[in-house]
């Protein structure tokens, strides 16, 4: 398992964290497995927190283009 | 009544009527109820204006009706300004409307009720069509005025609550003529993007006229047809538009709509903190459980067996050692007894006893003389009796 977190989305990471949380609540879990999960959970936690902390709101403006089906995008403003 | 001097043709009469009417009714204001309203594909509007006693047909050309903020509906009272025109080929007259407004706020309210009832009957507001709002959106489409306070408020709320999200703004007029068409186009544009998770359609507070675009049928229908869930945030808490009824979720204000659309990052921090605490706790418990199992094993009867065995063996050894020492003592005593017996026997063989019987030991130069040939006559001799020595000096 573990360690392919870099490519995953924030949502996937949260889901995995929740899953780990449930797994760790089980009484039947093996100690080595629990340790590995806990390790993974801590890494995911760090990852999620830093993602949230450094996130910058992105704003995109759609150009009005009534004649064609495509819409051009341009980076709007960052306040 | 003027005196007629000549016979008129139909055209001549019609021309005179046209001139008379059009000059007389060049700029007039009329109030009446709309009936048989028909917007033509050309953009022109055709309808009747009536009251209980009369009816007059009306036209409103595209260039004029584009500045009307609402779409007229049958049954509502309006006030129009315009002129009378006569159409000679048909021999009829009509009212050429230049501007139009509802006869009063109550008229808009009844227009609102009429359309709401109609769309409700069609099932547009039914719960079964309401799409769920995603809990963790990646892209939020926004249909609003790009220079409006509502948009700025939405940006600051998104930034505070969940800056991971991307806002995609499809700018639109939100009031006045053309606003409804604009709103429709923006909703469609966002729907073509495919990667939008939820749309917020909104504007800040205003009068019923200001908010009217959101009561227009085309806007309501485009919200209904949106494949992407739509949250409405129009006006203030007390304002309800028909768009609010058809939206998948109605928020009281644009800001409230953004609050609903975005999760709060503080909740995630709390979740992660809980995770770290609980998991740490779980791991500790797990360790304690394993440790207790080890301690239980050590304390168990089975585990104590070897030690007991050892003690038993040790006891056995002690027993043997004890037995050995007892045997040794016994042996020792026996040997001691034997020794004393032997020493008694030895005693019985004592030379003195022989001497008592009358034998004498003969010594010369401190040596026992054991045979006659060694005896030297005349030399100093000691005779040893059992009770003492006698010196013989020759």
Q: What pLDDT was estimated at residue B123?
A: 95
Average pLDDT, integer, range B313-342: 91
Q: What is the pLDDT of residues A14-73, one digit of tens each?
A: 889 989 988 888 878 888 888 899 899 999 999 989 988 888 889 999 876 544 333 344
Cβ–Cβ below 8 Å for A62 and B278: no
Q: What pLDDT was estimated at residue B154?
A: 96
Q: Does B294 touch chain A (CB under 8 A)?
A: no
Rounded (10°) CA dihedral B179, B182, B186, B187: 70
Q: How would residue B352 be classed by pLDDT, with cut points 50, 70 and 90?
A: confident
Considering just the CA atoms, what is the radius of gyration of chain A in Å? 20
Chain B environment of A14 (Cβ under 8 Å): 136, 268, 271
Choose the closest CB to B283 out of A34, A57, A66.
A34
Considering just the CA atoms, what is the radius of gyration of chain B in Å? 66
Is it the case that residue A79 has pLDDT exceeding 70? no
Q: Does B192 touch chain A (CB under 8 A)?
A: yes
Going B185 to B98 to B212 to B207, the CA torsion angle's sign is positive
Q: Does B266 touch chain A (CB under 8 A)?
A: no
Global pTM reads 0.67
Chain A environment of B186 (Cβ under 8 Å): 62
* Phi, then psi, of B250 in degrees rounded to 5: -105, 125
* Phi, then psi, of B136 in degrees rounded to 5: -135, 80
Residue of B nearest to A30 (CA): B286
Q: How far is CA B367 from the centre of its chain?
A: 125
- For chains A and B, CB pairs below 8 A equal 98
Average pLDDT, integer, range B23-38: 95
Mean pLDDT, chain B, rounded, equals 90
Q: Phi/psi zone of residue B40: left (φ > 0), alpha (ψ -120 to 50 degrees), beta?
A: beta
Is it the case that residue B163 has pLDDT exceeding 90? yes
Is it the case that residue B1 has pLDDT exceeding 60? no
B230-234 and B249-251 beta bridge pairing: parallel
Q: How far is B294 from chain A, CA to nearest CA, in Å?
A: 14
Long-range contacts: B125-130, Cβ < 8 Å, 24+? B125/B245, B125/B246, B129/B224, B130/B248, B130/B249
Q: What is the pLDDT of residues B235-280, one digit of tens each?
A: 998 889 999 999 999 999 999 999 999 999 999 999 999 988 988 8
Q: What is the pLDDT of residues A1-19, one digit of tens each?
A: 444 444 578 888 988 998 9
Q: What pLDDT was estimated at residue A77?
A: 42
Q: What pLDDT was estimated at residue A74?
A: 41
Residues 24-63 of A with CB under 8 A from B: 24-25, 27, 29, 31, 34-35, 38, 41-42, 45, 48-49, 51-52, 55-62
CB B25 within 8 A of CB B56: no
Q: What pLDDT was estimated at residue B51?
A: 94
Q: Which residue out of A44, A60, A63 would a mutagenesis test of the B interface target, given it has the greatest number of B Cβ atoms within 10 Å? A: A60
Among the residue ranges A24-28, B21-25, B41-45, B328-332, the one predicted with the least confidence is: A24-28
Q: What pLDDT was estimated at residue A7?
A: 58
Q: Which parts of chain B are beta strand (E)?
A: 28-39, 45-50, 55-60, 77-87, 92-102, 139-144, 166-171, 198-203, 230-234, 249-251, 361-364, 367-368, 381-385, 388-392
**What whole-number distance in Å separates Cα of residue B45 and Cα of residue B58?**
8
Is it the case that residue B10 has pLDDT exceeding 60? yes
Chain B environment of A25 (Cβ under 8 Å): 278, 282
Cβ–Cβ below 8 Å for B286 and A29: yes
Q: What pLDDT was estimated at residue B348?
A: 67
Q: Which helix (H) or strand (E) holds B155?
A: helix B149-161
Q: What is the pLDDT of residues B197-219, one digit of tens each?
A: 999 999 999 998 899 999 999 99
Buried/exposed code over B72-96 (b: 16+ C-beta within 10 A; e: otherwise) = bbeebbbebebbbebeeeeeebbbb
Q: In the numeric block, which tokens belong to residue B330?
A: 């016994």
Chain B environment of A11 (Cβ under 8 Å): 136
Among the residue ranges A6-10, A43-47, B134-138, B312-316, the one predicted with the least confidence is: A6-10
Average pLDDT, integer, range B63-78: 88
Choose the closest CB to B159 out of A27, A57, A69.
A57
Q: What pLDDT was estimated at residue B126?
A: 96
Going B111 to B114 to B118 to B119, the CA torsion angle's sign is positive
Q: How far is A3 from chain B, CA to nearest CA, in Å?
A: 18
Q: How many CB atoms lie within 10 A of CB B162?
A: 24
Rounded (10°) CA dihedral B335, B341, B343, B347: 180
């Amino acid at each position: 398992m573990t360690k392919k977190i870099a490519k995953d989305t924030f949502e996937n990471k949260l889901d995995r964290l929740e899953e780990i949380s449930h797994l760790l609540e089980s009484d039947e879990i093996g100690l080595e497995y629990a340790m590995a999960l806990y390790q993974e959970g801590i890494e995911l936690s760090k990852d999620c927190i830093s993602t949230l902390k450094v996130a910058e709101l992105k704003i995109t403006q759609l150009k009005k283009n009534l004649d064609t089906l495509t819409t051009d995008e341009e980076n709007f403003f960052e306040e | 009544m003027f005196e007629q001097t000549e016979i008129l043709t139909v055209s001549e009469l019609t021309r005179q009527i046209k001139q008379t009417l059009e000059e007389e009714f060049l700029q007039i204001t009329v109030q009446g109820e709309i009936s048989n309203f028909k917007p033509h594909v050309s953009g022109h509007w055709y309808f009747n204006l009536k009251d209980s006693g009369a009816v007059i047909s009306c036209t409103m050309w595209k260039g004029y009706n584009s500045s009307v903020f609402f779409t007229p509906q049958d049954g509502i009272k309006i006030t129009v300004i315009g002129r009378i025109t006569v159409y000679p080929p048909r021999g009829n007259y009509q009212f050429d409307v230049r501007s139009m407004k509802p006869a009063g706020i109550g008229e808009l309210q009844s227009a609102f009720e009429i359309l709401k009832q109609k769309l409700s009957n069609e099932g547009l507001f039914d719960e079964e069509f309401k799409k769920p709002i995603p809990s963790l959106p990646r892209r939020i489409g926004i249909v609003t005025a790009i220079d409006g306070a509502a948009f700025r408020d939405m940006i600051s709320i998104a930034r505070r609550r969940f800056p991971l999200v991307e806002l995609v703004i499809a700018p639109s007029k939100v009031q006045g003529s053309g606003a409804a068409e604009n709103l429709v186009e923006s909703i469609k544009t966002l729907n073509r993007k495919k990667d939008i998770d939820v749309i917020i359609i909104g504007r800040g507070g205003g009068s019923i006229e200001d908010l009217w675009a959101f009561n227009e049928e085309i806007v309501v229908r485009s919200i209904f047809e949106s494949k992407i869930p739509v949250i409405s945030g129009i006006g203030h808490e007390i304002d309800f538009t028909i768009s609010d009824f058809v939206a998948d979720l109605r928020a009281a204000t644009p800001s409230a709509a953004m609050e609903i659309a975005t999760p709060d990052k503080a909740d995630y921090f709390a979740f992660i903190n809980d995770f770290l605490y609980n998991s740490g706790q779980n791991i500790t418990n797990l360790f304690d459980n394993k440790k207790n199992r080890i301690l239980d094993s050590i304390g168990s009867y089975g585990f104590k067996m070897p030690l007991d065995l050892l003690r038993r063996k040790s006891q056995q050894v002690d027993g043997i050692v004890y037995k050995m020492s007892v045997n040794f003592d016994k042996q020792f005593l026996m040997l001691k007894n034997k020794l004393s017996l032997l020493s008694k026997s030895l005693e019985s063989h004592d030379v003195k006893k022989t001497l008592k019987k009358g034998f004498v030991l003969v010594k010369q130069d401190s040596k026992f003389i054991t045979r006659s040939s060694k005896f030297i006559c005349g030399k100093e001799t000691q005779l040893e009796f059992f009770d003492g020595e006698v010196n013989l000096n020759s």
